[in-house]
Amino acid sequence: MPQGLQTYDYLVFVLYFIIIASYGFWIYNRKKTATVNTTDFFLAEGQLTWWAIGASLIASNISAEQFIGMSGNGFRLGLAISAYEWLAAVSLVVVGVFFMPVYLKNKIYTMPQFLKTRYNETVAMIMAIFWLFLYIFVNLTSILYLGSIAINNLTGGQHFHLIMIGLALFALFITLGGMKVIGYTDVIQVLVLTVGGLITSYIALTVVGDTFGYGHNAIAGLNHLIKAAPEHFKMIFDKPGPGATQKQIDDYSSLPGLAMMAAGIWVANLNYWGCNQYITQRALGADLNTARSGIFFASILKLFMPLLVVVPGIAAYVLHEHGQLQQQMMTAGVVNQDNAYSSVIGFLPIGLKGLSMAALTAAIVASLAGKANSISTIYSLDIYKKYVNKEASDKKTVSTGRIMIIVSLIIAIIINWQDTLGIGGKGGFEFIQKYTGYISPAIFPVFLLGFFWKKTTSKAAISGIVIGLVLAILFDKFLPSMLGNETLLYTALPTGHGTYEIPYLIQMGWVFFFTTLLIVVISLIDVKGQTHANSLQEDTTKYKLTNAHIAMIVFVLGVVAAMYIRFW
């Protein structure tokens, strides 16, 4: 039976903390200069290598959202949740090939800056405010909450608030050093989370092998998972028909089969990886070749993430169905899917539990630091410097950014103190995806058309952002009661609580479609707006790829295709 953390586990964790803190302090002092430079603090301009960029992208992305939220969805949904990871790998390829040349050619440092350059100041200001609210009240807050819950479960379940404050302080320590400290400490963080994650998956599979009489064999354990829970190794869910169980309905609602492939999951991934300050910031300070190499390296790493975060969740499901992990999976008397990963960690031997906790902490802290830095960057460069204090020196701007980091973390702690947003209600991963999905389908068309259609106007962009958000709320909260549960556009499914809802990935697809159509129509009507000077510079030669880059892309696409063919 799993046991809690022992002295050696805590020693391993303390060693991890000392290494990260010491390395971060060394990086900070090694490149410290007498003058304070905003692009150095916010972007580490020209100082991150391709492998540091790739590692930082993964470390910033893989957090409690994946280790806890996605592992929980592995427990409930199975391998199908890997669609987010494998299609993210493809999305990174698209970003590296088509988006990054535009950003770097135009020396774009923030996403609002892109919108100002392509459209106007009003579009940039609206989106800067949108992003600040989204990053603070959804992303930063949920990452801190899920991380605190996970580590609290590992350490006995009595210190949630203390752990939350500790994680915030750890992230604060790294973030105040600027992007170069974040970038290079992320290399260690991603190494720790990868090794710790692989060990956890290996042990989980060997426990399955032992439990079902196959011996201490991870491969046999994996084969048994496939046999024991074949429904957990299906990538595409069928639309539920008459007589479907509530679980089948809930599973389809989370991942609506082929319908989500039409647009929804691509909107979520391409917007996240290509139009997200939190992510693109890692590559915006590099040259194109370095940035692309880092992005494609991250794409390759993404392929292996389901092994680290989804397989342990499936193992927890099979073991739970066999009568194990009954107590570990419970929260307030009911089975909580988000306990799956911490439950599996309990099987690790002394010392390795500490390493897994270090891996989990590495993922959480790296994401918190990256998100806090992005909040700081947008506020300092796109709001404070433009509207509050236009004459602010670099030193003043950086100090303001540091204050914003502290403020945002304090806000996240206050919100999470009593789980004000209800993050623990439906599973952390879905909470983030759903509420980010309110914004993504309204924002992504503005970027996409801004990149590739010169006639897109500022008036159309503003209209698309505002009406797109209204459409997202309409689809999510009102359409089933207004138009019924079955229309040509959607099928609203029963939630099991007396209400009906449209699967959020289908909502995102339709909101993206109508927002794009609206922007195109308004742009064509707004003839005067088409004369607005589009300040984006173009260089079609930037789309050419090296042979090494082509090889990396072919590898990514081949692996994703193989996974879908095998587990369709």
Closest CA to 249 of 444, 20, 469, 494: 494
Q: Which CATH architecture is the domain 7-14+49-207+273-433 placed in?
A: Up-down Bundle (1.20)
Residue 449's closest CA among 535, 515, 395?
515
Q: How far is CA 6 from CA 14, 158, 161, 266, 357, in A?
A: 13, 16, 21, 44, 12
- Say whether pLDDT at 428 is over 70: no
- Least confident range from 30-39, 73-82, 385-394, 509-518: namely 30-39
Per residue in 80-130, pLDDT (tens digit) is 999 999 999 999 999 999 888 888 888 887 788 888 888 888 888 888 888
Asked if pLDDT for residue 499 goes beyond 60, the answer is: yes
* The pLDDT of residue 39 is above 70: no
For 406, counting Cβ atoms within 10 Å of its Cβ (0-12 exposed, 13-18 middle, 19+ buried), the class is: middle
CA distance 258 to 501: 18
Instruction: Report the pLDDT averaged over residues 542-552.
Output: 89
Sign, CA dihedral 93-98-104-107, equals negative
**2 pLDDT more than 50:** no
Domain assignments of the chain as residue spans, ordered by start: 7-14+49-207+273-433
Token pair 């609203």 is found at: 492
State pLDDT tens for residues 339-370: 888 888 878 888 777 877 787 787 788 778 87
3-state secondary structure of 259: helix
Give the separation between CA 247 and CA 135, rounded to whole angstroms.
31
